[in-house]
Amino acid sequence: MKRISSLPGMQKLALDWRRKGVRVGLVPTMGYLHEGHLSLVRKARALVGAGGKVVVSIYVNPTQFAPTEDLSKYPRDLKRDLRLCRDAGADVVFTPVDGDMYAGRSTGGYSTYVVEETLSRGMEGASRPTHFRGVTTVVAKLFLLVLPEVAVFGAKDWQQASVVRRMVQDLNFPLRVVVATTVREPDGLAMSSRNVYLTPEQRAGATVLSRSLREVRRRVRDARTGVPAGDLERQVAEGVAQVSEARLDYVAFFDPETLMPAVTVTRGTQMALAVWFGRTRLIDNGRL
Ligand code: PAF
């Protein structure tokens, strides 16, 4: 396994692979890897085959964090990440640095961003207004540097995957976006690098996200007809309010393809929620 930090170095290798017809899969990450990321690496390997190349990018992208967010304290452990990538079968770990990715940004020398204007508006976009501009920009740059034929994203960030897929469609990137199943802890909590911020008490309470999903799914499946979204929003808000230190940011019910809000919730509707625990914000989502 190779580690590459240079942007021209990565792009040169990618062009070389392309000339030789090598299939390339990309798993974009911000590091501090867990089993969820590793399942994406294995998925990428299965998609490109033994003769293909799997690239894992590790880059804590500053443009997707608002000034008030956790950029400086975002967890990092590159040594461990490199070992995990090697064990999971990655061929290259791409570790660009800010000075190269956004050269000259602080002095106005970097001024190009990619903005998706519809799917990125609600939910995460409403709570974090500059977030998706940063995500689409860095993902577009990674696509141009790594030239993958397939890129694998996790279903936990359903809206992110939908926004990236729309960008790929709208800007004609010649690649396929694959969304892989969320990996969960035994008690149901979706794996996330941010889980490490939780105190033991918050960690115990954090199961409220997956529990809310399960309870709503059960209610929707038991109902003969659809359930009004407002009723389910109240149910989730009441459930979260019972958990010490938990504060609901949003819960949303929507069409999984268009992300349009659902007024009546039925089987197949997507549900997403975000919950604060102190200064840590966790998200989860699933198909009902
Ligand atoms: O999901 C993430 O970890 C990030 O948003 C991504 C896709 C790597 C872009 O920085």
Banded pLDDT at 198 (limits 50, 70, 90): very high
Say if residues 215 and 240 touch (Cβ distance below 8 Å): no
Kindly indicate the confidence band of residue 91, based on its pLDDT and cuts at 50, 70 and 90.
very high
Sign of CA dihedral 161, 165, 171, 174: positive
Mean per-residue pLDDT, 14-38: 98
CA–CA distance, 119 with 92 (Å, rounded to integer): 31
Q: Is residue 188 part of a domain?
A: no
Residues in the chain, how many?
288
Q: What is the mean pLDDT of the chain?
A: 97
Are 8 and 109 within one domain? yes
Residues 132 and 200 in one domain: no
pLDDT digits (tens, 9 = 90+) for 143-162: 999 999 999 999 999 999 99
- Residue 154 CB neighbours (<10 A): 23
Q: What is the mean pLDDT of residues 108-134?
A: 97
| 224: confidence class by pLDDT, cuts 50, 70, 90 | confident
Whether residue 209 is predicted with pLDDT greater than 90 in this model: the reply is: yes
138 close to ligand 1 (CB < 6 Angstrom): yes
Query: Residue 254 pairs with which residues in a beta bridge?
Result: 261, 270
Task: Write out pLDDT tens, residues 43-55.
Answer: 999 999 999 999 9
Among all chains, which residue has been given the structure tokens 């070389």?
A: 16
Q: What span, in angstroms and rounded, lies between the C-alpha atoms of 25 and 180?
A: 13
Mean pLDDT of 16-36: 98
| Mean pLDDT score, 176-186 | 98
| Distance from Cα 179 to the centre of ligand 1, integer Å | 13
- Asked if residue 288 belongs to a domain, the reply is no
Are 176 and 197 found together in one domain? no
**Ligand 1 within 6 A of 29 CB?**
yes
Choose one of 38, 61, 116, 132 to mutate for the ligand 1 pocket test, by most ligand atoms within 8 angstroms of C-beta. Answer: 61
pLDDT for 2 equals 98
Residue 60 CA, ligand 1 centroid: distance in Å: 8
Q: Quote the domain boundaries for residue 7.
A: 2-180
Same domain, 33 and 131: yes
Whether residue 75 has pLDDT greater than 90: yes
Give the residue from 180, 201, 235 where a domain finishes.
180
Q: Does some domain include residue 187?
A: no
Domain count for the chain: 2
Backbone angle region of 240, left / alpha / beta, with phi > 0 → left and psi within -120 to 50 → alpha: alpha
Tell whether ligand 1 has an atom less than 6 A from the beta carbon of residue 61. yes
Report the share of the chain in percent with pLDDT over 90: 99
Spatial CA neighbour of 193 closest among 75, 68, 81: 75
Question: Does residue 56 surpass a pLDDT of 90?
Answer: yes
In a domain, 248, yes or no: yes
